[in-house]
Structure 1
Amino acid sequence: MSIKPKLGPFDLTMIVVGLVIGMGIFKTPVDVARETGAPMLFYMSWVLGGLVTLCGALTYAEIGSRYPVAGGFYKVLSYGFHPAYAFMINWTLVISNAASIAAVCLVGAEYIGPVLLPDTMQHEAGRKTIAIAAIVVLYIINMLGIRLSASSQNVLTVFKITLVLLLCLTAFSNHVAPASAVVQQPEPVSWFYIFGAALVPVFFTYGGYQQTINFGSDVREPARNMPRAIFTGIFIILLLYITVNYAYVKVIGFEQLKTTDALAARMAEVFFGENGFRVTSVLLFLSVLGYANVNLLSNPRMYYAMAEDGVLPAVFKRVNSKTQVQEVALTVFTVLTVALLYFLSNFRSIIQYVMLFDTIGLASAAATIFVLRRKTRHLDGTGIYKMKLYPFVPLFFITVYLFVTVNIFITDWRQALGGMGWFVAGLPIYLAMKKAVR
C-alpha cells in the first residue's frame, strides 16, 4: 500500500516549525554566549545562522519541489549520488535523531518533574519514567493515524509558539538586567574558532527543517505547498529566535547568560511572577512533545525510502491502508528512542554528536540540487519552485556547513573520529542488507 497525500500547507508549516523548535532555543544560547564572549558576536552568530538557514531552506524547497517522494532525505542522496552513500548518511542520522528526541524528552522531564512528581521521586529514574511515558503516548497517537498525529502536531506547535512568544514579550517589559559586578574579558581567540564553535549550537537550534522533504508523498500539491510551507515556517522561526535572544540578553544580562541554565524558567519569572516556573514547565513540556511527535512522524519515512531501494526488508515500507501509518517502521524507531534514553550522557555532548552528522548530511543533500537541476530540467516551467541567485545560495550554505564540520574535528577530534567510525560502518551494513534482502 503506497502513501496517499493527506497534509495541507498549514499542516506542513506546523511540521516545519515543530521540527526546528525543540529544546535548543531554551538551552543553546548559554553556549553561544560563552563561545562568543561579547554581545555583538552573540547576535552576529544568530543572524549568520539565520541567513545560512534561509539559504538552506531555499535549497531544500527546490529539492522538495523537484523530487517530492516519501523519505526524501534518503531518496535525494540516493538519486543524486549513490544508494550506499545515502544509506551511510541516513542510518547515522536515524540514530542521532532518536538520540535528539531522547535528550530533549529528558530535559522536558526535568522541567515538568517538580510539577508532576513528589520530592522523593526527583531523581534520574523519575525523569526517565516521565520521558518514556511521553514517548509511548505519542507512539500510540501516531499509530492511530497520520491525520490525528498531524492534528496533534498543529496543537502542540501552537503551544510551542506561544511559549516562545511569551519569552519574547519579556523584551518589552520594564525589567532590565542588573549590571554585572565583574565582567570577565575573554581571552583573544581567532574569529575562525569563535564562529565555528558558536555555530555548532546555533545550527543545532535552527536545524530540522530539512526533514520536511521526507513528507513529499504526504503533501497535497507538493510542488506548490512544500516551498510555501518551508518559507512560512522558517520566517516564523527566524523572527522568534532573534527576538527571544534579544530578550535573554536584556532581561538576564549577557554575562549572567553564560552561566544560566534554566533560561525559560528565569525569563518566565519576570513575566508571570511566582507562578512563572509552573506555567513555563507545562508549556515547555508541551513544546518537547511537539518536537518528539514530529520526529516520530518524519523518521519512519526514511525507513520507507530505504525499503523501496531494497536496503531494508519490505516490511518497513508496509503502510496501513486505513491510517496511513508505517506500523513496523514507527515501532522500530520508537523502541530505538526509548533504548537510547539509557545510554545518554549530557545535552552538550549530544549536540556535538548530532551536529557532526547533520553538517555532513545537510551539506551532501543540499549538493544534490546541482544534480537535480540537470536531471529534472524537463520540469522547468511546469510550476515547480526555482530559487533565485542559483548557484550562489546553495554554495554559501554548503561552504558554511562544511566549515562547521571542520571546526568540530578541530574542537574534539577524538569524538569526531568516533562518530565517523559509525558513518564508515554504514557501508558494510549496506552491503550486507542488500545481500540479505535479495
Structure 2
Amino acid sequence: MSIKPKLGLFDFTMIVVSLVIGMGIFRTPINVAREVSSPTQFYAIWVLGGIVTLCGALSYAEIGARFPVAGGFYKVLSYCYHPAYAFMINWTVLISNAASVAAVCMIGAEYIGPVMLPPGLQNEVGHKIVGILAILLLYGINMLGIRMSATWQNFLTVIKITMIGLLCMAIWGNNVAPPSTTAVRDTIEQNWFYVFGAALVPVFFTYGGYQQTINFGSDVRNPSRNMPRGIFIGMAIILTAYITINYAYVKVIGFEQLRTSDALAARMVGAFFGDYGFKITSILLFLSVLGYANVNLISNPRMYYAMAEDRVLPRVFMKVNNKTQVQQVALSVFVALIIGIVFFLGTFDKILKYVMLFDTIGLASAAASLFILRRKQKELPAGEIYKMKLYPYPTILFVTVYLLVTVNIFIQDWVGALIGLSMFFIGLPIFFAMRKAVKDKEMP
C-alpha cells in the first residue's frame, strides 16, 4: 500500500510548471488591467506578484525537503498545528481545486468547441460534454499508472510552454496596437490598498498551484535534493514566461483594449498567424487545459492519502495499486467531484474569489509552518537538507501579503467571503464525525 518514488528531477520540474500554468494567464490579465490605471501599475503588479510567489515557492521548497511525505500539504499542517485545522484547510482546498479544474475544462471546451463540435452543439450543453469527456480521458490515462501520467504530463507541459512562446511571438506581427496612453480610471481615487489588493487576487490565482508540490514527497527520487531544485527551476521558467507574455499583451492588444478583450490568446496568435490563428490557438489551449487538469488528478489524491493515513478518512483512500502506484478510490472520488461541479459551475470571476479565499488562508498557514518546522527539527544535520537564503524574511513577506489579500477579498465581497469562510468552519464538525466513524469501524 506504500507509495514508491518514480519521478526524477525533470518529471518534477514539469509538474511544477503545469501546476502553476493553467488557463489563468490567458484570462486574468484582463481582470488585472481593470483594477489598475496604467501599464506601469499593470507591470508592477505582475512583478510584485512574482517576487512574493518566489518567496512562497522557496519556503515550500524547504518545507518539502524537510517533510517529504505523500499529501504533504495536509501532513505539514497536521504536524505543525492540529489535525482538525489541517482537515479544515484541506477539505476546502480539495473543493476549490476541483472547482478550478472544472472551470478550466469549461474554458478549454469553449475554445475547442468551434473546431470539433457541430453547430447544434456549440453551446453550454456541448461545452459541458466536451469538458466531461476530457476529464474522463485523463481519468483513464491516470488509472494506467503514475509513470504514464508523468510522461503524458511532460508532453502537455512542453505544449503549454510552446503555446506561451507563440503568444509572445505576436509582438513581431503586423497587427500590433499603437502605444497605450495612460488613462486615469475611477479606481485611481480609491486607496492603494484596495487597488493593489484587488489586482493581486487574479495575479496570485495565476501564479498559484506550486503549493501542491509538497504532496509529491513520496513520489520523487532523492526529494531533499530534487524537490528544491525542481521548484526553483520551474518557478524561474514561470516567472520569465508570465512577465514576457504580459508585455506582449500590452504591446499587441494595447492597455486600454486589454480591459475589454475576451479571447486574449486568439487575438494574440491571430496577430502573427492571421486567419489560421484561431484554430491553432484553440487546439493548443485545449492541450494546455488537459495539462493543468492532469497534474491536479495526480496531485490531489495524495491529500486524500494523507488524511486517511491520519485516520480522518476511511483507510480505503490509502489503497495504492502496487503495480501502477495509482490511488484508484481517491482518484475516482476526485474525478466524480469535478464532474459534479461542471453541472453547477458559476462564472469565472465568482469562482476566482472563492478559490482565492481558501488559497490565501491555506497558503499562508502552510508557509508559516516553516517557522515551527525549523524549531522542531533543530537536530537535523546541517547540509543534508535545503535551507532557504535570507530566512525568515521571504516567508514573512509571503505570509503578510497573502493575509492582506484575504482582508481585501472581504472588503470586495464580504457576503461571498463569509459564505466561503462558513464552508471552512463546517470542516470542523466533519473532521470529528469522520474521525469517530473511522475509529468505530476499526474497533473489534
Residue number in structure 2 paired with 1:263: 264
- Cα deviation, 1:18-47, whole Å, max 9, x if unaligned, reads 000001000000000000121111000000
Q: CA deviation at 1:69?
A: 0.2
Instruction: Work out whether 1:33 is the aligned partner of 2:21.
Output: no
Residue 243 of structure 1 aligns with an amino acid whose one-letter code is: T
Counterpart contact for 2:38–2:182, Cα < 8 Å: no
Counterpart contact for 1:72–1:214, Cα < 8 Å: yes
- Cα deviation, 1:160-199, whole Å, max 9, x if unaligned, reads 0000111112234454313679956444121101110000
Counterpart contact for 1:153–1:290, Cα < 8 Å: yes
- Cα deviation, 1:384-414, whole Å, max 9, x if unaligned, reads 1000111111000000000000000010000
Residue number in structure 2 paired with 1:432: 433
- Identity across aligned pairs (percent)? 69
- Cα deviation, 1:250-283, whole Å, max 9, x if unaligned, reads 0000000000010000000011110000000000
- Cα deviation, 1:273-300, whole Å, max 9, x if unaligned, reads 1000000000000000000000000000
Counterpart contact for 1:16–1:230, Cα < 8 Å: yes
Residue 95 of structure 2 aligns with an amino acid whose one-letter code is: I
1:245 aligned counterpart, secondary structure: helix
Counterpart contact for 1:99–1:340, Cα < 8 Å: yes
1:377 aligned counterpart, secondary structure: coil
Residue number in structure 2 paired with 1:341: 342
Counterpart contact for 1:21–1:291, Cα < 8 Å: yes
What does 1:244-393 correspond to in 2, within 5 Å? 244-393=245-394
- Cα deviation, 1:64-106, whole Å, max 9, x if unaligned, reads 0000000000000000100000000000000000000000000
Residue 357 of structure 1 aligns with an amino acid whose one-letter code is: F
Residue number in structure 2 paired with 1:156: 156
TM-score by length of 1: 0.98
Instruction: Work out whether 1:104 is the aligned partner of 2:101.
Output: no
TM-score by length of 2: 0.97
Instruction: Work out whether 1:95 is the aligned partner of 2:95.
Output: yes
Residue number in structure 2 paired with 1:56: 56
Counterpart contact for 2:58–2:388, Cα < 8 Å: yes
Residue number in structure 1 paired with 2:442: none
Residue number in structure 1 paired with 2:205: 204
Count of residue pairs brought into register by the alignment: 438
Residue 234 of structure 2 aligns with an amino acid whose one-letter code is: G
Q: CA deviation at 1:341?
A: 0.4
What does 1:66-215 correspond to in 2, within 5 Å? 66-173=66-173, 175-178=175-178, 183=183, 185-187=185-187, 188-215=189-216
Counterpart contact for 1:5–1:219, Cα < 8 Å: yes
- Quote the Cα distance in structure 2 between the aligned partners of 1:210 and 1:378: 26
- Quote the Cα distance in structure 2 between the aligned partners of 1:400 and 1:247: 27
- Quote the Cα distance in structure 2 between the aligned partners of 1:374 and 1:184: 49
- Quote the Cα distance in structure 1 between the aligned partners of 2:209 and 2:182: 38
Residue number in structure 1 paired with 2:229: 228
- Quote the Cα distance in structure 2 between the aligned partners of 1:235 and 1:178: 30
- Cα deviation, 1:224-251, whole Å, max 9, x if unaligned, reads 0000000000000000000000000000
Instruction: Name stretches of at least 5 consecutive residues in structure 2 with no aligned partner.
Output: 440-444
Counterpart contact for 1:66–1:379, Cα < 8 Å: no
- Cα deviation, 1:119-144, whole Å, max 9, x if unaligned, reads 11111000000000000000000000
Cα distance change, pair 176–371 in 1 and its aligned pair in 2 (3 A): same
Q: CA deviation at 1:344?
A: 1.0
Residue number in structure 2 paired with 1:217: 218
- Quote the Cα distance in structure 2 between the aligned partners of 1:186 and 1:104: 31
Residue number in structure 2 paired with 1:399: 400
Residue number in structure 2 paired with 1:9: 9
Q: CA deviation at 1:380?
A: 3.7
1:159 aligned counterpart, secondary structure: helix
Residue 73 of structure 2 aligns with an amino acid whose one-letter code is: F
Instruction: Name stretches of at least 5 consecutive residues in structure 1 with no aligned partner.
Output: none
- Quote the Cα distance in structure 1 between the aligned partners of 2:199 and 2:342: 27
- Quote the Cα distance in structure 2 between the aligned partners of 1:423 and 1:281: 37
Residue number in structure 1 paired with 2:21: 21
Residue 309 of structure 2 aligns with an amino acid whose one-letter code is: E
Counterpart contact for 2:176–2:271, Cα < 8 Å: no
RMSD: 1.2
- Quote the Cα distance in structure 1 between the aligned partners of 2:173 and 2:237: 22
Residue 355 of structure 1 aligns with an amino acid whose one-letter code is: M
Counterpart contact for 1:49–1:203, Cα < 8 Å: yes
Q: CA deviation at 1:343?
A: 1.0
- Quote the Cα distance in structure 1 between the aligned partners of 2:342 and 2:239: 30
Q: CA deviation at 1:118?
A: 1.4
Counterpart contact for 1:18–1:290, Cα < 8 Å: yes
- Quote the Cα distance in structure 2 between the aligned partners of 1:167 and 1:436: 52
- Quote the Cα distance in structure 2 between the aligned partners of 1:63 and 1:171: 39
- Quote the Cα distance in structure 1 between the aligned partners of 2:141 and 2:326: 11
